[in-house]
Amino acid sequence: MKFRITCLLIFFSLFFHGKLFAQRFLMDLVDTTNQMGKGMLSIYERYNRVRISGYIQPQFQLISAKGAETYAGGNFSAMVNNRFMLRRGRLRVDYAHLNKNNDPTSYFVFQFDGTERGVAIRDFWGRIYENKFKIFALTTGMFARPFGHEVNLSSANRESPERGRMSQILMRSERDIGLMGTITSRQNQLWTQRLKLDIGVFNGQGLSGPVDYDSHKDVIGRLSIKPGKVAKAGGMNISAAVSGYWGGITSQGNVLYRTRANRGEYTMQRDSSVSNLGKTAPRRYAGADVQISFPNRKGETEFRAEYIRGRQTATLNSSETPGTYPGSGNVKDPLYIRNFDGGYFYFLQNLGSKDHLFVLKYDWYDPNTRVKGRQLNATDGFTRADLRYDTVGMGYVYTANESLKFLFYYDFVRNEKTALQGYEGDAPDDVFTCRVQYNF
C-alpha cells in the first residue's frame, strides 16, 4: 500500500504540473510510402541518399516487490525492487535510391539496439519499388511483422513505456525474417488510394531464437485503411485494419496437450498419438484495430482499440512462442495448444498545448479462455501460463523539444485469483516508470 501511495503521489505531482499532449501516430515502421515526396527527396538531396537517426531511453523503475516478474522491461532480480536501466539505445541508417524521375527504386534500412545487456540487430531489410503502376513493393530481410497496430508502433513514438503483455508474448521483438509484398497507392486523395495490403511469409520465431527450428513457414497479412480525415465529422481522423496470422510449430515429438472437457470440467489433456510427430501445432490469430482522433483547439483527443483471438502453441509454463524448440538434447518437451484472446484500449488527450500528453490504457491477455479462476489448478494440469492478466496504465508525457521527451507512467497489474500456488490472490507487480528519451 505504501508503495502505491508513494508512486501515485509522484505521478500526480508531475501530471498536474503541466497541460496535456498526444504524440502523432506512426502508421507502420516499414511503410516507406509515408516518406514519399519531400521526405524521400530530403534523404536523397541533403544527405547523399543516406539518413542517420537514433534515440536512447534511460529510465528508473520501482516495483511492488523484490524479484517481481514483469513485462515492463523484464523481470527484476531476486533482491531488487528498483533499478536504473537503459531500456533502448537505437541507431538507424536509411538509404534511398531514386531514379532520374525522382521515383523510388529501392530503400534499405538497418537498425541496432544497444543497452547495458548487449547489442543486437532490430531491422535489416530492403524494399524494391515498382514504378509503372506505382502500387507494388517487395520487402525482404528482418522487419516488423504486418500484424496489428501496437506491434508496428515505434517504441520512440508509443505513448506507453511498453507494448501490452499480449503483444509481447505472441510476437516477442515484433520482427521476423521473411518476404513481404505490399499493394498500396502512393497517392492519398481518394479513399480507395488509402487502402493498403501487406502479406508476407516468415520463419515464425523471429528474433527470439538464433535460427529457424522447423521448415514450416508462417503467413501473415494485414488489410488497412491509412489515416484520413472525415470532413463531415468535424475533421475526425480515422484508420483501421484487420489482420491474420496462419502459422504453427512442427512437433518434434508425439506428445501434445490441449484443454478439453472431461465429464463437464476442463483439464489439460495429453495426446500421445504417433501421428503427432511432424504435425503442425497451430499458431492461428485473427485481429482488428481502429484509431480515431478528434481535433480540438490546441491538440487532439484520440481513441485506439485492438482485439486479437486465436490458438497459440507454446510450452507448459509459458504461452510465449518459443525461440528454440523446447527440450534438452534429444529429449523434446511436449507442446501445449491453448485458445486465447486479448486486446487493449487507449485514451489520449491533448489539453492546452502539444507539449503535454495524458495517457490512459487498459489491456488484457487471457492465454486460456476455456478455464478461469478456481478452475485453474495444478491437479488438472494448469500452470501460471494459463493465467489471465488485466493491466490499467496511466501516464504523463512531456515533450520538451523535438529531441527530448519525458515519460512518467504507472501500471496497475492484476492477475486472476486461482487455485495455483502463489496465485491464490493478486501477485504484487505494480510498476512505476520514469523515462527520458533523447533522439536525433
HSE (side-chain half, CA atoms, 13 Å) at 146? 28
Inform me whether the pLDDT recorded for 17 exceeds 70.
no
Confidence class for position 209, pLDDT limits 50, 70, 90: confident
For 63-77, 184-198, 211-225, 248-262, which range has the lowest pLDDT when averaged over its residues?
184-198
When pLDDT is averaged across residues 366-380 and rounded to a whole number, the result is: 95
Residue with cell string 501511495: 5
Short-list 63, 104, 100, CA closest to 82: 63
pLDDT given for residue 173 in this prediction: 83
Residue 330 dihedral angles phi and psi, to the nearest 5°: -90, 0
Inform me whether the pLDDT recorded for 155 exceeds 60.
yes
DSSP state, 35? G
What's the CA gap between 264 and 260, in Å, rounded?
Answer: 9
Inform me whether the pLDDT recorded for 10 exceeds 50.
no
Inform me whether the pLDDT recorded for 247 exceeds 70.
yes
Confidence class for position 253, pLDDT limits 50, 70, 90: very high
What's the CA gap between 16 and 330, in Å, rounded?
Answer: 59
What's the CA gap between 30 and 10, in Å, rounded?
Answer: 37
When pLDDT is averaged across residues 169-174 and rounded to a whole number, the result is: 89
pLDDT given for residue 382 in this prediction: 96
User: DSSP letters of 253-308?
Assistant: SS-EEEEEEETTEEEEEEE--GGGTT-EEEEEEEEEEEEEEEEETTEEEEEEEEEE
User: DSSP letters of 326-376?
Assistant: SEETTEEPPEEEEEEEEEEEEEEE-BB-TTEEEEEEEEEEES-TT--GGG-
| Predicted confidence (pLDDT) per residue in 262-287, tens digit | 888 999 999 999 999 999 999 999 99
The SS3 assignment for 103 reads coil
Short-list 410, 416, 414, CA closest to 431: 410
Confidence class for position 309, pLDDT limits 50, 70, 90: very high
DSSP state, 205? S
In whole numbers, what is the pLDDT of the chain averaged over residues? 88
Confidence class for position 351, pLDDT limits 50, 70, 90: confident
The rounded Cα 277 to chain-centroid distance in angstroms is 32
Return the percentage of the chain with pLDDT > 70, whole number: 89
pLDDT given for residue 232 in this prediction: 73
pTM of the predicted structure, to 2 decimals: 0.88
The SS3 assignment for 74 reads coil
Confidence class for position 408, pLDDT limits 50, 70, 90: very high
Confidence class for position 27, pLDDT limits 50, 70, 90: very low
pLDDT given for residue 16 in this prediction: 38
Inform me whether the pLDDT recorded for 13 exceeds 70.
no
For residue 232 the three cell numbers come to: 463531415
Return the percentage of the chain with pLDDT > 90, whole number: 72
pLDDT given for residue 227 in this prediction: 87
pLDDT given for residue 43 in this prediction: 53
DSSP state, 112? E
When pLDDT is averaged across residues 298-319 and rounded to a whole number, the result is: 95
Residue type at 4?
R
Residue 428 Cα distances to 158, 177, 371, 415, angstroms: 26, 37, 23, 10
For residue 334 the three cell numbers come to: 511436449
When pLDDT is averaged across residues 234-257 and rounded to a whole number, the result is: 93
Inform me whether the pLDDT recorded for 55 exceeds 60.
yes
Instruction: Spell out where 64-103 has E strands.
Output: 82-98
Inform me whether the pLDDT recorded for 1 exceeds 70.
no
When pLDDT is averaged across residues 171-195 and rounded to a whole number, the result is: 88
pLDDT given for residue 4 in this prediction: 52
- Angle, alpha carbons 18-4-431 (nearest 5°): 80
pLDDT given for residue 352 in this prediction: 81
Confidence class for position 23, pLDDT limits 50, 70, 90: very low
Torsion of CA 346, 351, 353, 359, to 10 degrees: -20
Q: End-to-end CA distance of the chain: give it in Å, rounded.
A: 40
Short-list 9, 86, 17, 22, CA closest to 303: 22
The secondary structure element, H or E, covering residue 161 is: none
Confidence class for position 48, pLDDT limits 50, 70, 90: low
Q: How many residues does the chain have?
A: 440
Inform me whether the pLDDT recorded for 31 exceeds 60.
no
pLDDT given for residue 142 in this prediction: 94
Short-list 395, 428, 404, 4, CA closest to 161: 395
- Angle, alpha carbons 119-71-213 (nearest 5°): 60
